[in-house]
Amino acid sequence: MKFQLSKTIWLMLMIITFASCEKAEDQAIANTASVSAGSLVSSVSSVTLTKATKDNEAVKFTVSKTDFGYQAAVKYTLQLDVKGNNFARPKEINLDANNFVKSVTGVELNDIALALGLKPDVVSIIQVRTKSEIGSSVAPVYSAPFDLSVKPFALIAFVYVPGDYQGWNPSTADSLISALGDGKYEGVINFAVKANSLEYKITPKKEWTVAYGDAGAGKVSASAGNNLKAGTLYPYKITLNLNDHTILTERFSYGVIGDATPGGWGDDTNMNYDNGKREWSLIINLVGGKELKFRLNDDWGTNYGDKGADGTLDKDGDNIKVASSGTYKIVFSFVSNTYTLTKQ
């Protein structure tokens, strides 16, 4: 004998099933309202960083799990920012999903401290917290921040680039910088300042006692007699590694472009690079109510605009608006990832 459900009974079963599912979903969402944020513990409350101990552990962070009220894959990130910034632009360290202890070396913490704008050899306070995330549909959860006293150190070392572009004088030559003092140097030299100014050498000091020349095959040597040479009359980024004596030169110049600039959207106005400050700058007349952007080597392949109209650089970001006409000093820095337009 066949058994058939009446339409009424079938409808009642469907309503009960739907109601059960809805209650289960409501319960999952309701649980997120009572999230228990994990904690973050540091092995030290203050640290003095030095070049001699840069490869040693400087601090160890231990994270406890965040409870979102139900089983979920949680992504944990350490956030560090200067005290008082309210984590507006934090530096972040991703944590392994299966390891809740993160050891940070001296050079890693020093890089973060300098990137946050802390001054070398000065004690400053940064704040550290954990960000826990389970997806874009649920707001991140943050642990209570704690203060970490940090005294960073300056690692910067220099070599110099005398050449025809500046009269072959080591005492006044521009420099290449090693941000970590590890034998790896880079900088931008403007070989466009003088006709036929393509040849140069590299000296460890502002004198001719030791000078590196062209050893061929992308190598330099202190015993090589031939001068090094740039390709064209243009600013070049020079990357030098004195550990393996390799050298790389590449065209490298940032400029401003836009209807706020003298060249409009058709022609860049090149900026000047300061290897000591590691920033681009330019004094220029700008038109109010118009816009500009920064781009590399007169090409849209690499360009920077504004991120949130707050002076933060953003790759392929929004055009930068100029408030009023006048003479401006523009400063563009990848060290702080910011730009400024200062009316003169």
pLDDT at 24: 40
pLDDT score of 154: 83
Residue 49 located in a structural domain: yes
Neighbouring C-beta atoms of residue 45, cutoff 10 Å: 10
- Confidence bin at 138 (pLDDT 50/70/90): confident
Phi, psi of 41 (to 5 degrees): -120, 140
Q: Within 10 A of 79 (CB to CB), how many other CB atoms are there?
A: 19
Amino acid identity for residue 98 in this structure: N
* 203 and 298 both lie in a single domain: no
Same domain, yes or no: 140 and 223: no
Q: Which of 219, 251, 283 is the last residue of a domain?
A: 251
| 3-state DSSP helix/strand/coil % of the chain, to nearest 5 | 15, 40, 45
Distance CA(116)–CA(108), nearest Å, equals: 13
Given a cut of 70, is residue 29 above it in pLDDT? no
Q: List the CATH number of the domain containing 49.
A: 2.60.40.10
Domain assignment present for residue 314? The answer is yes
Q: Is residue 86 domain-shared with residue 110, that is, in the same domain?
A: yes
Strand partners, 92: 79
| pLDDT tens digits for range 273-295 | 998 888 999 999 999 999 999 99
As a whole number of angstroms, the distance between CA 99 and CA 319 comes to: 42
Alpha-carbon span 45 to 146, nearest angstrom: 9
- Those residues with Cβ within 8 angstroms of residue 114's Cβ, 6 or more apart along the chain or in another chain: 120, 152
Structural domains counted in the chain: 3
- In this structure, is residue 23 part of a structural domain? no
Strand ranges in 83-209 using DSSP code E only, listed in sequence order: 91-94, 101-105, 124-133, 141-142, 146-151, 157-161, 174-178, 184-190, 199-200
Report pLDDT digits (tens) over 154-175: 878 899 999 999 999 999 999 9
Q: What is the DSSP letter of 145?
A: P
Q: Which residues contact 326 (CB under 8 A, 6 or more apart)?
A: 285, 286, 288, 343, 344
Task: Return the higher-pLDDT residue of 246 and 117.
Answer: 246
201: nearest Cα among 245, 249, 239, 164: 164
Residue 42's domain comprises 35-151
- Provide the H-helix boundaries in the chain: 7-31, 106-115
58 versus 140: which is more confidently predicted? 58
Measured distance CA(250)–CA(124) in Å, rounded: 38
- 229 shares its domain with 260: no
